[in-house]
Amino acid sequence: MKELILIIEDEIEISNDLEKFLRLSGYDTVTARSGEDALKLLEKNIPDLIISDILVPGIDGYELLKRMQASPETAAVPFLFLSAKSNKIDVREAMNLGADDFITKPYDIDELLNTIKVRLEKKQRRESHLTKKIENLQINLRKTMPHEIRTPLNVILGFSEFLLKNNKKIQDSDALDMVYNIHLSGQRLQRTFENYLLYANLELVAATQSEKTKYNKYKTFMADVFIRDVAVSKASEFERADDLQLDLIDATVKIYEDHFRKLVDEILDNSFKFSNPGDKVNIKSSMDGDRFIMIVRDVGRGMTEEQLSKSGDFVQFDRKIYEQQGTGLGLSIVKKITMIYNGEFEITSSPEHFTEVIIKLFGTEGLG
């Protein structure tokens, strides 16, 4: 199947030449004479690449690119500007908006064709990588989801049915224990579904530049208080308040509060889940220039080099040996959040000794 290129050009002679050269080179083409016409065509069919002039009637090339970047359906389509406007300000504006390349008129057809080829090959590699990643995620989801749904459902249905059939015979203390287990299982199911919904939303944000820009304007103030609240709550959840060690500084971190809370929560959930009562879980924060650094270290099971390379791929390791809960989605969420805010994520570990997670985000010390 031939790749489709959308040409947005109001000068008929130029658009006709482009159509002729591209079709002779093995591409299918469709042409729009204005920004509005282009948007209508995009509603019907998403092209593989777009070539647009800047000065077209109605919605100009810049505004059209902004709208495309804001839409998940078109944000990943390679966008080339072909324009007589060639000063540095125009080129910089185009690239800042997310254009893949800028070619000036009059253009060299060989240069244009080579640019198109390179951009389409890059798009194909990206799509192949994404397809492979999705296939791996699907495999891992099929392995983990049945367990993560059936186990709590069995508890909920089993205990609730027993209570309904034997409510007059059960002692209050036994009934309370069953209700408590039903509640815990309900929380487990809720966390599973909320994590999948959150991950889907994070994928959307990561793929849309306008969404990333919006979230990068948020800040979390008093990070030390914020981390302490999440950490104390998580330690209490695992009944391990004495295992928690905190060494935190006051800082402002450039991240949306809900995302920061989730990031800290998921890292600590893994730390407590994969270490034993009595083993310390240490959280330390610091500033290095404009980088806020948070280090979470636990003395627990640890991971091998192979497991580290697969962390964040919806994989839960050694499920047959260790029967802890989880889908392995937590680290995927942490990595995705860190990426959205142009941060750094690193894990170091030694089997049966320790695991250390390092997160680096932009921030300022104190209230900033």
For residues 47-57, average pLDDT: 93
Reported residue count of the chain is 368
For residues 227-244, average pLDDT: 95
pLDDT of residue 320: 39
pLDDT of residue 324: 42
pLDDT confidence tier of residue 137, bands split at 50, 70 and 90: low
Strand order in the sheet with 4-8: 28-32, 4-8, 49-52, 79-83, 101-104
Domain with CATH 3.30.565.10 in the chain: 131-365
How crowded is residue 284: how many other Cβ atoms within 10 Å of its Cβ?
16
Contact predicate 22/29, CB 8 Å: yes
Confidence check: pLDDT of 342 > 70: yes
pLDDT of residue 134: 67
Confidence check: pLDDT of 77 > 50: yes
pLDDT of residue 133: 67
User: Domain 131-365: what homologous superfamily?
Assistant: Histidine kinase-like ATPase, C-terminal domain (3.30.565.10)
Higher-confidence residue of 361 and 132: namely 361
pLDDT of residue 318: 41
Contacting residues for 341 by C-beta, under 8 A, at least 6 apart:
215, 216, 254, 255, 259, 361, 362
For the full predicted model, state whether its pTM sits above 0.75: no
Angle between helices 329-340 and 172-207 (to 10 degrees): 40
**What is the C-alpha radius of gyration for the chain, rounded to an integer number of angstroms?**
26
> Could you say which architecture CATH assigns to the domain 4-107?
3-Layer(aba) Sandwich (3.40)
For residues 80-104, average pLDDT: 87
Domain with CATH 3.40.50.2300 in the chain: 4-107
- How open is the CA angle 169-171-177, to the nearest 5 degrees? 120
